[in-house]
Amino acid sequence: MADGSTLAMPAASAPAGSLQRFARRRSTIAFLMTLPLILVIFGLVAWPAGYAMYLATLNRRMTEFIGLGNFEILLDSETFRMVIFQSVFFAVTAVILKALIGFWLAHMLHHIPTKGQRKWRGMLLVPWVIPPALSTLGWWWMYEPSYSSLNWLLAIFAVPPVPWLGEPWWARISVIIVNVWYGAPFFMIMYLAALKSVPEQLYEAAAIDGATSWQRLRYVTLPMMRNIISITVLFSLIVTFANYDIVRVLTNGGPRDLTHVFASYAFQVGILAGNIPRGAAVSLFMFPILAVIAFFVLRGINKRNREEA
Amino acid sequence: MSTTTAAAAHPRGIFHKAGSLRAERRWALVTAYISLVIAAIIMLAPPVYMFLTSIKTSAEIADLSGNPWWVRDPTLENYTALIFNPMFRGFFWNSVKVTLLVVALTMAISILAAFALGRMRFWGSQWLATGVFLTYLVPDTLLFIPLYQIVGGLGLLDSTWGLVLVYPTLTVPFCTWIMIGYFASIPKELDEAALIDGANWMQMLTRIFIPVALPGIIAATIFAFTVSWAAFVYPTAFITSPAEMPMTIGVVSQLIRGDTFAWGQLMAGALLAALPPVIVYAFLMDYYIAGLTAGATKG
Amino acid sequence: MAQVSLRRVVKAYEGGVQAVKGIDLEIADHEFVVLVGPSGCGKSTTLRMIAGLEEITSGDIAIGGTVVNDIPPRDRDIAMVFQNYALYPHMSVFDNMAFGLTLRKFPKEEIKRRVDNAARILDITPLLDRKPKALSGGQRQRVAMGRAIVRDPKVFLFDEPLSNLDAKLRVQMRTEIKKVHQTVKTTTVYVTHDQVEAMTLADRVVVMNHGVIEQVGPPQELYHRPATRFVAGFIGSPAMNFIPARVENGSGALRLNLPNGIVLPVPEERTSRYAQAAGKEVLFGIRPEHLTEPKNLDRSNIAVFELTPEVIEPMGMETLVHLWLQGAEVCSRIDPTTPAEPGRPMPVAADLNHMHLIDPETGRVL
């Protein structure tokens, strides 16, 4: 501007060109700034996902196209049907427990004076902070048949020793216990944040309207938190469904391949046994389930954004 | 709060004392504290027990007669043994290297992208933002087999560089997502003021957005750090030689050998490996929690 | 030299919605112009087009004789004060004010001199080291103005700068803004929805509605000679009364037939002006301050009639009386000592020297 170019008003058609150039320039800069992200998304997620689908249609030596052969073989095998059952059972049970315990703890935490909340929250979140593969080692040690410190504690109450990892059903429960221990604090934190976002006046209004504490929970808290609850549950469902660390460290699929989930079985088949296409097929079984959940998560988020807008 | 106390607290004689609000409230508080104490015991028991084991001698661990939750003869020998073990130190440096590189890479990618997606509106930016979120929902256990092939094709199997390449799939989508949220919470007028003050896009990012969104950046950095440090699936799949192993997989695979486990050392190793994220958490808890909840409450 | 010219400026959004429908406006150097209108009237969009924050769909905007349509905001040599102040939260007051100069690579001493000078004008010198968080609303407002002043731009742009302040502070800052303008004399474009702000601050007021300019003029002119029904109703508080009426021609003089059988004589000097409206339905416009208890009855063109009060609002120095007149609520400002009681008819005097007649179809004041 300091150049003092005092040109007369140009004809009305002239300016469009440089405006568009300005907008194009901005788009170009923006595109360059997102390019690394695009590379990560497409190069390391989208393309591998597509590649997995291609891999799953090959034979073991990856020399021949066999269509859905891998999927057929998998569905025919008793072990894999067990994996499906085990994965679903594990994910659903663990998420329900995590959600309930997390909700209960968040509620209790919300009740105590604000001053002390930070301290308790800090303690209760510790399981989430330790890398799960490592804390699972601790659990493994506590479950250890001959030295089990858990059985020692149970013995105090005259409970007979539990074969934590030795018997399939107990092994399943053990895996779920560890996952709930690890994940419940996450739910607690999310719910606590949601609880704090409910305006105090709503509770006051409800109290004056004569609502009991149960009714306040039912008609104020839950509706206000519905969205966060569903997003957290769906999100946790994905993560739990795809869990690998805990099963790998605790049971590694045993006893007798009865506690495998999709991830650990895919690992077993694909990496350890070297049948890459079959392994890809196993992990692809997760895909439709995850896609459905992702759809609902996205819908929930869009809905909330719209409500807030 | 004080809505229903009016009747109970009223001093004048013609009103009779009704209700038992105070007792009810005290009862609720007691329930809350009992629940929290029980929860805290359960939540802290495993790490505490790991620690107790880690300061026991092998003889004491093997002795079944005593209380396993008590240490009679504390020792640091398990820790010293690990610290003077070059292989274990190697795990540590591998973790440090991979984590630092991945965090730096992640933050550079996600800050740039979040700024462009959130503030510069261009063709397809809305789709890309949704894509970022969807990517976040794709778990590593779905990708490790094709990535095994791809990383193998690049000759990066059994190398920490392979991990640096693939870890961004764990960190970038979430960090970008929450950075978009944090940037979105900066009022539009602030960039307009900067625009009028004469800032270009880069100056706006470095001098306004990054300083203002610093809490968000710290939260995202903590997330990237924790995730990279704790990553388990990829290193388990890609790394086979101890020299290239990061801590998580090193402890799990190398300290467990044979039938006689060195439990004390194993627990010491697990605790040492868990220490960096725990320290970060202890000092930056509020940022940590902000990052955790940002995924659902922002953006 | 920093006059601002808008020529046939149009802003259309995708889907063809026009926020600004081709406005022409010439703002002289050193002038303080206020754009006023209800929300959504296009006043903010106009300001933002002058700032360069919105692209111009068609037309031209020139600052200091240069067409700036394609010049980015940073090169337009303007400064803007935002409604929410838009202070950089991580910078001290000094740095906030210095930011624009720093980006333009001014020497350090020059920056300091300018910031100190602006801080002195605005009386915020003791605050220079504070962060915006530690400031009150009024102080933030001053800093936002300081940020504009240090730049010594060609034009100041204010976008509803006082809306976030409480009523008392707003009055105080209004005076402050006027004082600053008298000191620095920079050409100023000021957007507000508050007609009192517009009246008190402006050299000239631009009233906008639905993307077009209704009227431009000095505050007094807008008040006494509104050009349209919209301006008549928008300027002045409480708003002008509009009463449906019919103009009758009776033996050389015009009469106004109001509801309730009230008949008002049109002042003689206005007979020729309103002659064309004879026999037509019109809106009779009169401000509450010209509808009072009977007084100055010796002056000409005062008509007295009787109405029934519905609601009485004592304001202290005056009392507002809401009267009912068949389908129209009429507001009158009376002396607080005048007895008035809801439901009891009282005499009111209309000062017809200040009457307006409006064509209800075109909305133009006759």
pLDDT above 80: residue B4:
no
Are residues B286 and B164 part of one domain?
yes
pLDDT of residue B147: 93
How far is C67 from chain A, CA to nearest CA, in Å? 6
Mean pLDDT, rounded, of chain B: 86
Span B11-59, pLDDT tens digits: 555 666 666 778 888 888 899 999 999 999 999 999 999 999 999 988 8
List pLDDT tens digits, range A140-164: 999 988 888 888 888 888 888 888 8
Q: Collect all residues of chain A within an 8 Å Cβ-Cβ radius of residue B138.
A: 45, 49, 290
Q: Which residues of C touch B196 (CB under 8 A)?
A: 51-53, 73-74, 76, 78-80, 100
| B14 vs A220, more confident | A220
Closest residue in A to C10 (Cα–Cα): A12
| CATH class assigned to A72-308 | mainly alpha
The ipTM assigned to this model is: 0.87
* Residue B12, pLDDT score: 54
- Residue B6, pLDDT above cutoff 60: no
pLDDT at C237: 83
Q: Please indicate whether, in this complex, the C-beta atoms of A37 and B132 are within 8 angstroms of each other.
A: yes
Amino acid symbol at B53: T
Average pLDDT rounded to a whole number, residues B193-197:
90
* C155-159 and C187-192 beta bridge pairing: parallel
What does the pLDDT look like over B66-100, one tens digit per residue? 888 888 889 898 899 889 989 999 999 999 999 99
CB contact under 8 A, C73 and B196: yes
Q: What is the mean pLDDT of chain C?
A: 89
All residues of chain A having their beta carbon less than 8 Å from the beta carbon of residue B289 are 121, 125, 189
Could you give the domains of chain C?
4-228 (3.40.50.300), 241-358 (2.40.50.140)
Cis peptide before C238 (omega within 30 of 0): yes
Burial of A304 (0-12, 13-18, 19+ CB in 10 A): middle
- C-alpha span between C364 and C358 (Å, rounded): 6
Q: How far is C80 from chain A (nearest CA, A)?
A: 17
Which residues of chain C are within 8 Å of residue B207 when distances are taken between CB atoms? 99
Asked if residue B102 and residue B22 are part of one domain, the reply reads: no
Minimal C-alpha gap between A28 and chain C (Å): 17
A19: which chain C residues are within 8 Å (Cβ-Cβ)?
55, 69-70
A22 and chain C in contact, CB less than 8 A: yes
Q: What is the 3-state secondary structure (H, E, C) of A131-157?
A: CHHHHHHHHHHHHCCCCCHHHHHHHHC
Q: Which among C53, C87, C151 has CB closest to B195?
A: C53
- Rounded CA-CA distance A5/B129 in Å is 42
Q: Please identify among residues 14-53 of chain B the ones whose CB lies closer than 8 Å to any CB of chain A.
A: 28-29, 31-33, 35-36, 39-40, 42-44, 46-47, 49-50, 53
**Residue C213 and residue C24: Cα distance in Å, rounded?**
8
Cβ contact C84–B214 (<8 Å): no
Is residue C34 within 8 A of residue C192, CB to CB? The reply is: yes
Chain B nearest-CA residue for C158: B193
Query: Does residue A19 surpass a pLDDT of 80?
Result: no
Among B153, B199, B271, A166, CA closest to C104 = B199
Q: Which residue of B196, B198, B214 is in closest CB contact with C80?
A: B196
Does residue B101 fall inside a structural domain? yes
Amino acid present at A180: V
**Beta carbons of A124 and B40 less than 8 Å apart:** yes
Contact between A6 and C65 using a beta-carbon 8 Å cutoff: yes
Q: Tell me the C-alpha distance between A292 and C299, whole Å.
A: 84
> Is the pLDDT at A250 greater than 60, yes or no?
yes
pLDDT average, residue stretch A61-81: 87
Q: Write down the pTM of the prediction.
A: 0.84
One pLDDT digit (tens) per residue for chain C, 366 residues = 588 999 999 998 887 788 898 899 999 999 999 999 998 888 999 999 999 888 888 899 999 888 988 888 888 889 999 988 899 999 999 999 999 999 989 999 999 999 999 999 888 999 999 999 999 888 998 999 999 999 889 999 999 988 888 888 888 889 989 988 998 889 999 999 998 999 999 999 999 999 999 999 999 999 999 999 999 999 888 889 998 888 888 777 788 888 888 888 888 888 888 888 888 888 889 999 999 888 877 777 888 888 888 899 998 888 999 988 877 788 999 988 888 888 888 888 988 888 899 988 888 888
In angstroms, the Cα distances linking A11 to A150, B233, C59 are 86, 65, 9
Closest residue of chain C to A4, computed from CA coordinates: C66
**Is B269 inside a domain boundary?**
yes
Chains in contact with A via at least 3 Cβ–Cβ pairs below 8 Å: B, C
Instruction: Give the gap in angstroms from C-alpha A7 to the nearest C-alpha of chain B.
Output: 23
The reply to whether B122 falls in a domain is yes
Q: What is the layout of strands, in order, in the sheet containing C291-292?
A: C291-292, C346-351, C302-314, C319-325, C328-334
| Pairing state between β C78-81 and C155-159 | parallel
Q: Give me the pLDDT at residue A16, please.
A: 45
Question: Which of B54, B69, B88 corresponds to the end of one domain?
Answer: B54
Residue B34's pLDDT is 93
CA distances for B38 relative to A195, B34, C232, C260, angstroms: 22, 6, 72, 81
Task: Tell how strand C187-192 and strand C32-36 pair up.
Answer: parallel
A5 touches chain C (CB under 8 A): yes
CATH of the domain at B152: 1.10.3720.10
Instruction: Name the DSSP letter for residue B161.
Output: H
pLDDT in tens, A264-305: 999 999 988 889 999 999 999 888 888 888 888 778 777 766
More confident residue, B54 or A3: B54
Distance from CA of C60 to the nearest CA of A (A): 7
Q: What is the pLDDT of residue A305?
A: 67
With contacts defined as CB-CB under 8 Å, which chain A residues touch C65?
A: 6
Interchain proximity C100–B208, CB inside 8 Å: no
C20 CB contacts (<8 Å, ≥6 apart)? C9, C10, C11, C42, C45, C46, C49, C211
Q: What is the DSSP letter of C267?
A: P
* Residues B91 and B180 both lie in one domain: yes
Do B49 and B182 share a domain, yes or no? no
Q: Which of B40, B49, B133 has the CB atom closest to A138's CB atom?
A: B49
What are the chain C neighbours of A2 within 8 Å (beta carbons)?
A: 77
Is the confidence at residue A176, as pLDDT, over 90?
yes
Question: Does B114 share its domain with B227?
Answer: yes
**Does B146 share its domain with B269?**
yes
Let me know whether B14 and B137 are in one domain. no
Give the model's pLDDT for residue A4: 36
How many degrees, rounded to 5, is the angle at CA B151 between CA B150 and CA B154?
A: 90
List the domain range (segments joined by +) for residue B154.
78-297
pLDDT of residue C130: 92
Q: Of A137, A147, A189, which has the smallest distance from its Cβ to B292's Cβ?
A: A189
Task: Looking at the complex, report in whole angstroms how far the Cα of residue A113 sits from the nearest Cα belonging to chain B.
Answer: 9
For B143, the closest of A45, A111, A235 (CB atoms) is A45
Does B15 map to a domain?
Answer: yes
Under 8 Å CB pairs connecting chains A and B tally to: 287
Total domains in the fold of chain B? 2
Length of chain C: 366
Determine the distance in angstroms separating the CA of B142 from the nearest CA of chain A, rounded to an integer: 5
Domain ranges of chain A: 17-55, 72-308
Test B197 with C72 for CB contact under 8 angstroms: no
Helix (H) or strand (E) holding C59: strand C58-63
Nearest in space to B221 (alpha carbons), one of B171, B161, B153? B171
Contact (CB<8Å) C72/B208: no
Q: Do A48 and B143 touch (CB under 8 A)?
A: yes
Nearest to C7 among A9, A19, A22 (CB): A9
